[in-house]
Amino acid sequence: KQVISVQQLNKHFANNHALKNVGLSVEQGEMVALLGPSGSGKSTLLRHLNGLVCGDKTVNDKPSNGYIEVLGVPVQKNGKFCKTVRASRCQTGYIFQQFNLVTRLSVLQNVLIGGLNSTPLWRSLTGRFTLAQKQQAMNALERVGLADFATQRVSNLSGGQQQRVAIARALMQQAKIILADEPIASLDPESSRIVMDILSDINKKEGIAVVVTLHQVDYAVRYCPRVVALKKGEVFFDGPSEQLDEGT
Ligand code: ADP
Ligand code: ADP
């Protein structure tokens, strides 16, 4: 079953063509690396998948052109956002290079935020979560090996630990897809391996599709069976990661 479909996506910024006729199709359960040097368009492509770029609101950039569908609903069509993006966004966990956690809240509270989609408004406004939600959040923390840190403030954690909290938040969200934008770019090698091991593990065990942008070939080859490589906004390789060396 196809969970992501991108057809003929073009994105122009003021003075550059950031994505050129990009096509991408991802099946449920795949783990795909988006690989390429800085400025090749990885982040722009990933952000399109979650309806974070379209171009009709901001100065300086023209609407994107093309078609994007995620989890069976259109995200954008020829430069216009589709209202259905909400449906796919709720089921898409997004991981950022700089974690995007609320640093003055506890680890557990940050994970609970992932469940807000399914929380009645009055509860989320008063910060009340059910026991079942707290248990679910604790399970997610156990999954990333941080159950012992539940009551700590996020600001006391290392970068690698914070990224694991972000993954737990995506699990709490019951994401069907995880989009990770340079999740290990700010981490040391050991933390990078732990974070990639966790992403790989939830991909294999939960069947969650993972699309992860990376600029290092070695991590892509080691963790992702499939690599999509971008160069100046164009897909120049899409295939099994073991064929990457011959293709480049
Ligand atoms: P990568 O993630 O591979 O580093 P990006 O997707 O961030 O690449 O950027 C692709 C190209 O688009 C770069 O040339 C970058 O400068 C440009 N770009 C990205 N975002 C914007 C923006 N908001 N305004 C103008 N140019 C942008
Ligand atoms: P990354 O390389 O990690 O994807 P960047 O540092 O390239 O991130 O971009 C960070 C932010 O700046 C993004 O929101 C991106 O859209 C914006 N940006 C990137 N390049 C440009 C640019 N040339 N002009 C304006 N904004 C840009």
pLDDT of residue 125: 72
Ranking 13-17, 64-68, 72-76, 192-196 by mean pLDDT, the lowest is 13-17
What are the residues whose beta carbons fall under 8 Å from the beta carbon of 30, sequence distance 6 or more? 203, 209, 210, 225, 226
pLDDT of residue 6: 96
pLDDT of residue 54: 63
Q: Candidates 43, 45, 212, 230: which one to mutate for ligand 2, based on the most atoms within 8 Å of Cβ?
A: 43
Ligand 2 and 38: CB distance under 6 A: yes
- As a whole number of Å, the end-to-end CA separation of the chain is 30
Q: From the CA of 40, give the closest atom in ligand 1.
A: 3
- Relative to the alpha carbon of 186, which ligand is closest? 2
Average pLDDT over residues 3-14: 92
225 touches 241 (CB < 8 A): yes
Average pLDDT over residues 193-200: 98
pLDDT of residue 58: 53
Buried/exposed 17-32: b ≥16 CB within 10 Å, e otherwise: ebbbebebebeeebbb
Ligand 1 and 50: CB distance under 6 A: no
* pLDDT per position as a tens digit, 128-182: 888 999 999 999 999 999 999 999 999 999 999 999 999 999 999 999 999 999 9
Q: Is 203 a residue whose pLDDT tops 50?
A: yes
Minimal-distance CA residue to ligand 2 atom 27 = 13
Q: Could you give the percent of the chain with pLDDT greater than 70?
A: 95
Average pLDDT over residues 17-24: 95
Q: How many whole angstroms separate alpha carbon 99 and alpha carbon 156?
A: 14
Whole-number Cα distances in Å, 65 to 26, 205, 211: 20, 36, 21
- Of 7 and 12, the structure prediction assigns the larger pLDDT to 7
Q: Quote the ligand 1 centre to 102 CA distance (angstroms).
A: 26
Average pLDDT over residues 215-240: 96
- Of 64 and 219, the structure prediction assigns the larger pLDDT to 219
- Of 177 and 57, the structure prediction assigns the larger pLDDT to 177
pLDDT of residue 59: 46
Average pLDDT over residues 187-199: 98
Whole-number Cα distances in Å, 56 to 17, 51, 107: 16, 12, 36
Buried/exposed 190-217: b ≥16 CB within 10 Å, e otherwise: ebbbbbbebbbebbeebebbbbbbbbeb
Minimal-distance CA residue to ligand 1 atom 27 = 13
Instruction: For helices 159-172 and 131-143, give the axis angle rounded to 10 degrees.
Output: 130
What's the complex ipTM? 0.76
Q: Quote the ligand 2 centre to 15 CA distance (angstroms).
A: 14
Minimal-distance CA residue to ligand 2 atom 20 = 39
